[in-house]
């Protein structure tokens, strides 16, 4: 296939892919903007609904307080119905109730029940009560327990004489208590038609029909009109998302739900969003042709440029990216011009030079690292030797020749094992043996100064560790922890696995460190104090050997002791590096 045909197909596919991705991205952004706008409109509508309905419920609540506080109502509920003045009281109470009905057009009926089941009512519904005693109402006990609080329900809890297709009602029930004796005198029932509530707010967001559901303290007062919405609202977790805006798919239709809550009232509206008009359609009709023409011009221009310069440069750019990732590969540019061949040769020569320089630098770094480890190792060995010979000399001066001989013998065994035939790393069990020899020497010099416990996890016995890692830490515990106290102390040495690493811990109950000294160590400023040579040298060696995988911590309490922990990856000889495997 000709190069021109290949380039044409390549850029054609690239343009098609770009158009597809751009279209998908545009549709997604357009949908998100439309959804955001719709959610804003939904919340505005919901707040309007809440404001109107809540005002109606609050007014009804205030009217109920007015009825309860009415002297005529209080007198009518307190007097004996056989008294002569009861007829006057009846007229007075009916007058009070009638005034409220005239003032609040949304209230359709009011019932006032005495404790002896005598009741007063004004009922525009003309349906009457379906029970002969208020005590038989399903809500009676709840209202009594509420002790004057609001109890809202649907259709008076079934106490109304309603026909099947008759208007639905939201009912408020509360006890009427004596204003002075603080005991129950009767019961108040106020009924509000659902149609009056629904007429208090708009019925549409744009062109979408709104469905409303209202709950009070977990009891549904107005359910969604559509059955599938009612079933969805009754499902577990639906009202748990109040307040908020969320979507759901029911029977293939997408719905948007907006909900809010206030003082025990929960409002939720729902409407279909599948068939809504795209508010950004006019913008799309303008942008899409412009984008199509732009892509066509870009495609034609790309064809012309690629035939001359771009394609070889793109190949060269890819090779340069590989160099950034550490892959040095000779470039092969598909161009016949002399300039392209010269560019290829110069680039390949430069890459070869850079690769040689990097390899040389890596080799120098490895050599330098090995030398630094050797230098630090040599610094530590004389440091321990000086202390050991001082101990032997001290025993000789005090006439303890046998102990001096045993100390020198232990010192010889120590160096025989610690040198390890020149190995840089040794098994952890051997490192523990080296430390035991060291502590034998120290115990001979300072009898009864310390006791020691060892805890080496058997799975770590063959793990590799740089030589003389543990001994300087133990020496630090003796010289700077236990010895300054002048009292017998305890040194605990432990090695345990921890998430693919080895954790070495040296703990003593010696003098400890003050906060300033501890902060100096934690901040990595060990070099500031030459007395910390053993700890400083060990930390530096381990950091050089393990790199960023090495960590350490120092905890200390003045007068209580110090805990030094170092953590490094598990290593062992052979192809595997996990000692715990």
Other beta carbons within 10 Å of 284: 12
Domains of the chain are 70-198 (3.30.450.20), 363-569 (3.30.565.10)
Dump pLDDT digits (tens) for 7-59: 667 767 777 787 778 778 877 887 788 788 888 888 888 888 888 888 888 88
**pTM value surpassing 0.75:** no
Residue bearing tokens 């061949």: 341
Residue of 126, 68, 128, 140 whose CA lies nearest to 100 = 68
Q: What is the Cα–Cα distance from 398 to 334, expressed in whole angstroms?
A: 88
Dump pLDDT digits (tens) for 368-424: 566 456 545 554 556 667 767 777 787 788 887 887 888 888 888 777 776 655 677
569 pLDDT exceeds 90? yes
Dump pLDDT digits (tens) for 98-116: 777 676 677 888 888 888 8
Residue of 548, 547, 549, 544 whose CA lies nearest to 568 = 549
Q: Strands (DSSP E) along 134-264, which ranges?
A: 151-154, 169-177, 184-193, 204-205, 208-209, 211-216, 219-222, 244-250, 253-262
- As given in the structure block, the two tokens for residue 483 are 């010895």
489 pLDDT exceeds 90? yes
- As given in the structure block, the two tokens for residue 508 are 């003593």
Phi-psi region of 147 (alpha: psi -120 to 50; beta: other; left: phi over 0): left
Lowest mean pLDDT among 243-247, 284-288, 479-483: 284-288
275 pLDDT exceeds 50? yes
Lowest mean pLDDT among 68-82, 210-224, 445-459, 548-562: 68-82
- As given in the structure block, the two tokens for residue 431 are 């490192």
Dump pLDDT digits (tens) for 500-510: 899 999 999 99
Residues 6+ apart with CB under 8 A from 401: 395
pLDDT (average), residues 178-190: 85
251 pLDDT exceeds 90? no
Note whether 556 and 484 are within 8 A (CB).
Answer: no
């Amino acid at each position: 296939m000709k190069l021109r045909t290949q380039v044409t197909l390549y850029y054609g596919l690239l343009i098609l892919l770009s158009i597809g991705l751009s279209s998908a991205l545009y549709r997604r952004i357009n949908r998100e903007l439309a959804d955001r706008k719709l959610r804003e409109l939904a919340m505005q509508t919901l707040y309007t609904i809440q404001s109107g309905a809540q005002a109606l419920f609050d007014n009804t609540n205030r009217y109920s307080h007015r009825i309860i506080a009415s002297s005529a109502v209080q007198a009518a509920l307190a007097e004996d119905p056989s008294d002569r003045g009861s007829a006057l009281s009846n007229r007075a109470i009916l007058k009070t109730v009638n005034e409220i009905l005239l003032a609040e057009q949304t209230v359709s009926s009011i019932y006032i029940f005495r404790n002896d089941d005598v009741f007063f009512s004004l009922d525009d519904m003309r349906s009457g009560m379906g029970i002969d005693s208020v005590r038989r109402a399903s809500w009676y006990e709840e209202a009594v327990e509420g002790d004057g609080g609001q109890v809202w329900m649907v259709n008076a809890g079934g106490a109304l004489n309603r026909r099947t297709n008759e208007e639905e009602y939201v009912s408020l029930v509360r006890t009427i208590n004596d204003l002075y004796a603080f005991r129950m005198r009767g019961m108040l029932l106020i009924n509000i038609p659902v149609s009056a509530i629904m007429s208090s707010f708009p019925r549409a967001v744009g062109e979408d029909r709104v469905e409303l559901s209202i709950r009070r303290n977990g009891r549904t007062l107005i359910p969604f009109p559509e059955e599938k919405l009612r079933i969805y609202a009754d499902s577990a977790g639906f009202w748990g998302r109040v307040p908020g805006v969320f979507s759901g798919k029911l029977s293939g239709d997408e719905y948007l739900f907006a909900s809010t809550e206030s003082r025990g009232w929960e409002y939720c509206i729902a409407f279909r969003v599948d068939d809504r008009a795209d508010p950004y359609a006019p913008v799309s009709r303008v942008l899409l042709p412009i984008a199509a023409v732009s892509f066509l011009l870009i495609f034609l221009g790309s064809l012309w440029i690629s035939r001359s310069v771009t394609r070889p440069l793109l190949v060269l750019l890819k090779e340069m990216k590989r160099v950034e990732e550490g892959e040095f590969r000779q470039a092969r540019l598909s161009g016949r011009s002399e300039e392209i061949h010269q560019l290829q040769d110069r680039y390949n020569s430069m890459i070869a030079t850079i690769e040689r320089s990097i390899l040389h630098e890596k080799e120098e770094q490895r050599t330098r690292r090995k030398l630094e480890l050797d230098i630090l190792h040599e610094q530590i060995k004389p440091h321990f030797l000086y202390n050991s010979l001082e101990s032997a000399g001290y025993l000789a001066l005090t006439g303890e020749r046998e102990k001096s001989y045993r100390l020198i013998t232990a010192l010889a065994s120590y160096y025989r094992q610690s040198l390890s035939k020149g190995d840089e790393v040794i098994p952890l069990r051997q490192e523990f043996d080296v430390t035991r020899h060291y502590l034998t020497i120290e115990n001979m010099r300072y009898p009864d100064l310390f006791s020691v416990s060892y805890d080496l996890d058997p799975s770590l016995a063959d793990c590799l560790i740089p030589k003389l890692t543990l001994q300087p830490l133990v020496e630090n515990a003796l010289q700077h922890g236990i010895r300054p106290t002048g009292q017998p102390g305890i040194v605990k040495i432990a090695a345990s696995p921890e998430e693919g690493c080895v954790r070495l811990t040296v703990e003593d109950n010696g003098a400890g460190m003050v906060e300033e000294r501890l902060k100096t160590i934690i901040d990595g400023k060990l070099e500031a104090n030459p007395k910390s040579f053993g700890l400083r040298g060990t930390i530096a060696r381990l950091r050089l050997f393990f790199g960023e995988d090495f960590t350490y911590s120092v905890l200390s309490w003045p007068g209580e002791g110090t805990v030094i922990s170092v953590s490094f990856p598990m290593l062992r000889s052979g192809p595997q590096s996990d000692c715990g495997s």
